[in-house]
Structure 1
Amino acid sequence: MGNKSLRTRLLVFAIGLAVSGVLAAMVHEIARQYLQQTLPAPLNQWIESLYPRLALIRTQASPAWWDSLLQGVLFRIRLAFLLGFALWEYARPLCKPPLDPAQTIPLLRAKRITQVYYALSIWYASDWLVQLEALSQWTPFYQPVFLLKILQLPLLSASAFSWLFGCLILSGLLVLVRVAPVFNALIHTILFVILHGYLISFHKIDHTYSAWMYIGFWMPLLLWSAQKASRKGLTFVPKLDLWAMQASIGLLYAMAAAEKILVSGWAWLRADNLQGYLLEQGTALGQWVAQFSWLCQILVVGAWSFEAGFLAAILLRRGIGLFLTTGILFHWSTALLLNAGGWFSPWIAAYLVFLPWEKVSWPRF
């Protein structure tokens, strides 16, 4: 049985490696044809609609620059495969019934996580309407990003934003009072992503809600699992949905760490890199900290190590408490030194998926 399981894993790894290799080869060929301007027109237009900057620099950037960019893309494909395989290996036991206690979480924890998430989600979005109504007048500056660009969604009117915002808040409230919770959770997630997309479609990409939205993608599944468990009279739910949320946060940090090195090289870890940021964009405290090279070196290496190691801590089930504490300090430090984020950043709030909520006293209504 053990040999069969090992053969299956090796086969999956080999297939995945082959697929990632094929994808890398396809990307390489597309890039070559794009630079030579021999790419089919529809594909060329699609690429430039997603990345308009490429059309501007196609004839200006040096071959070495393009090669560096391409190698970075190919590395991302291989890294995505390796991380995906590691996550699959970890998640496999969580998918096999019957579940042992180590593969489940208390039903009460699942319910409270969803309640806290949607209550906070409503709170975070509470001031969006004012911003969206103001942005509805800025048509010349509208540059749709991500999903909005793919779907080619136009800038909406103030009344349309008001209607969507009302649906966002209502769907979150309906989840909290357990009215069609799975359906309303899906509606809430879709609207949250779309409205946030509009907020960042004016030449300023903001990653404030990245982790919050990623765990939100899994919330309907957790609600569905909790709903099924309640109907069957069970006191536990499979751990898989919650683990997927935790892994999503770890993946975001891991990819952020990888991007820093891919874009800037290992020079990103130099003290003067952080000093430059602090002197140019930092708060008064940040500019004071920039005077101390040794302190900046500790901060920059510590920040990168935290991001790079968070996913490993989840997979190895070691040091989660230490990483969560470090994460809180990390996000607080960016607020104090760079005025980025806040004391209750959504990144910190996303850590709610790691907490044993069933052990917390809960008010009864």
Structure 2
Amino acid sequence: MKTTYLKNSLWVLSVLLALGGMYGWWLRPQVQAFLWTGEANIVSYWVAVFYPRFAIERHRFDASYFLFLADQIVLRAGLVITAIAIWEAWQRRGQRAFCRIIPLSEVGYFVRYFAFVLLLYTYDWCYLFYNLSFFVAFFEPLGFVHFLPAFSLPWLWSLWGVMILTALRALYLGRGSFLPASLFLVLQAYLYSFGKLDHTFAPFTYVCLLMPWWEVACWRAQKKGFSFCSATPLLYMQVAIAFCYVQAGMEKLLLGGSAWWNANHLRTFLLVHGQATGRALAASPDLLLEAASVLVLLWQLAFVGVLHPKSRLFFIFTGFLFHLANYLFLGVGWWLHTYVWCYPFFFDSLSGLRQFVRFLKINAYRQKQ
């Protein structure tokens, strides 16, 4: 066992050294050439594909700032590789991810909840696309959108309508998540093609990527006559949602450093957003504001603790309070934030939803009688 751990550790270390060496020796000089001289190279190509907004942002910030961001990308890639290696080692030791099972009937309620959240997120997207139609000049297709029709309301409204109808079908039947999940990703790519990546739907995007895979795995288990299926995809959803919070904490720590928890930093944010409650909080002593900033940072970095059953409720409750505070003091989002709607995926059972559906069915039956 120790030999295996040593071998895996050496592999991870080798990958990290190779990544750092390739970046420092080959890629970083190209980044510098592109930023300082505008040289057309592989960096300029990928920036045009994944970050078209750079054409505007380069006039706002110095070239050294973007070089710092490039270094951050490599650093975070190294941290992610290390985290995945630690996660895999822990899973292989405990064999928890591959032994967890869940009743097939329970998966249907997760599919229903997935469809409900999708409808909640996207019910007004037809109006959103209508507003964006006045800014088509800023449309720069990203990724696979290059291979799809250009931005046009009839096309996007058709996709949106099919997505809504198939989501309603999944909500009713408890199956059929592939098409609404795929259309959500496609329509989101159109939204992102206007030069702004919105993190609002980040956790649910991971759910959309994993839910169809889980449903297919359960379908195969059912075809084999099993009444249970693997809960591994659900675990991956939980890890991905938790990582969104950890990534937010890493963003503050790696970009802002100690300046992020400076009292004046939070005070400026509170005053700029102009909420009455925010202005009142901005008048608080520096020590209180600094303590609040540090607690938020530590909480986000520790949010991975939500994966442990004993600390799950704590992080879910404090997560709700965190988003509520953002709404009250900064006016950001809604009191029931879009991230909060993904919290039920942290549970291995949606028994509450099952009981609610059963209650509705009983009432409907009584009315027929």
TM-score, length basis structure 1: 0.83
Alignment partner of 1:164 is 2:163: no
Partner of 2:168: 173
- SS for the counterpart of 1:73 is helix
Alignment of 1:1-365 (within 5 A): 2-25=1-24, 26-35=26-35, 37=37, 41=41, 43-52=43-52, 54=54, 65=65, 67-92=67-92, 100=99, 103-140=100-137, 142-144=138-140, 146-147=142-143, 151=146, 156-178=151-173, 181=175, 184-202=176-194, 204-293=196-285, 294-314=287-307, 318-360=310-352, 361-364=355-358, 365=361
The 8 Å contact of residues 256 and 307 in structure 1, kept in 2 or not, is answered as yes
Would the alpha carbon gap of residues 203 and 267 (structure 1) be closer, same or farther in structure 2, given more than 3 Å must change? same
Mapped to 1, the partners of 2:261 and 2:80 lie a distance apart of: 23
Shift of 1:130: 1.6
Shift of 1:202: 4.4
Mapped to 1, the partners of 2:139 and 2:357 lie a distance apart of: 45
Write the deviation string for residues 61-114 of structure 1: whole angstroms up to 9, x where unpaired: 6675455334323322221221222233344468799x54xx223434332122
- SS for the counterpart of 2:357 is coil
Mapped to 2, the partners of 1:272 and 1:145 lie a distance apart of: 39
Mapped to 2, the partners of 1:61 and 1:113 lie a distance apart of: 45
Mapped to 1, the partners of 2:58 and 2:275 lie a distance apart of: 37
The 8 Å contact of residues 104 and 218 in structure 2, kept in 1 or not, is answered as yes
Mapped to 2, the partners of 1:212 and 1:13 lie a distance apart of: 30
Shift of 1:220: 0.7
- SS for the counterpart of 2:283 is coil
Partner of 2:367: none
Shift of 1:259: 1.2
Shift of 1:8: 4.3
Would the alpha carbon gap of residues 62 and 201 (structure 1) be closer, same or farther in structure 2, given more than 3 Å must change? closer
Write the deviation string for residues 110-165 of structure 1: whole angstroms up to 9, x where unpaired: 3212211112212321111122123223223x3447547x7376752221121011
The 8 Å contact of residues 94 and 239 in structure 1, kept in 2 or not, is answered as no
The 8 Å contact of residues 133 and 157 in structure 1, kept in 2 or not, is answered as no
Mapped to 1, the partners of 2:59 and 2:347 lie a distance apart of: 52
Mapped to 2, the partners of 1:196 and 1:67 lie a distance apart of: 28
Mapped to 2, the partners of 1:229 and 1:362 lie a distance apart of: 27
Mapped to 2, the partners of 1:171 and 1:221 lie a distance apart of: 17
Partner of 2:365: none
The 8 Å contact of residues 30 and 41 in structure 2, kept in 1 or not, is answered as no
Mapped to 2, the partners of 1:53 and 1:356 lie a distance apart of: 40
The 8 Å contact of residues 142 and 192 in structure 2, kept in 1 or not, is answered as no
The 8 Å contact of residues 267 and 273 in structure 1, kept in 2 or not, is answered as yes
- SS for the counterpart of 1:137 is helix
Mapped to 2, the partners of 1:172 and 1:252 lie a distance apart of: 25
AA at the equivalent of 1:223: E
Mapped to 2, the partners of 1:137 and 1:59 lie a distance apart of: 25
Mapped to 2, the partners of 1:174 and 1:23 lie a distance apart of: 49
Partner of 2:366: none
- SS for the counterpart of 1:341 is coil
Gaps of 5+ in 2: 362-369
Mapped to 1, the partners of 2:94 and 2:218 lie a distance apart of: 16
Would the alpha carbon gap of residues 91 and 219 (structure 1) be closer, same or farther in structure 2, given more than 3 Å must change? farther
The 8 Å contact of residues 20 and 81 in structure 1, kept in 2 or not, is answered as no
Would the alpha carbon gap of residues 331 and 23 (structure 1) be closer, same or farther in structure 2, given more than 3 Å must change? farther
Shift of 1:304: 1.5
Mapped to 2, the partners of 1:47 and 1:77 lie a distance apart of: 17
Q: Which structure's relative contact order is higher, taking Cα pairs within 8 Å and 6+ residues apart?
A: 1
Shift of 1:60: 9.3
Gaps of 5+ in 1: none
Would the alpha carbon gap of residues 203 and 59 (structure 1) be closer, same or farther in structure 2, given more than 3 Å must change? closer
Mapped to 2, the partners of 1:251 and 1:23 lie a distance apart of: 26
- SS for the counterpart of 2:120 is helix
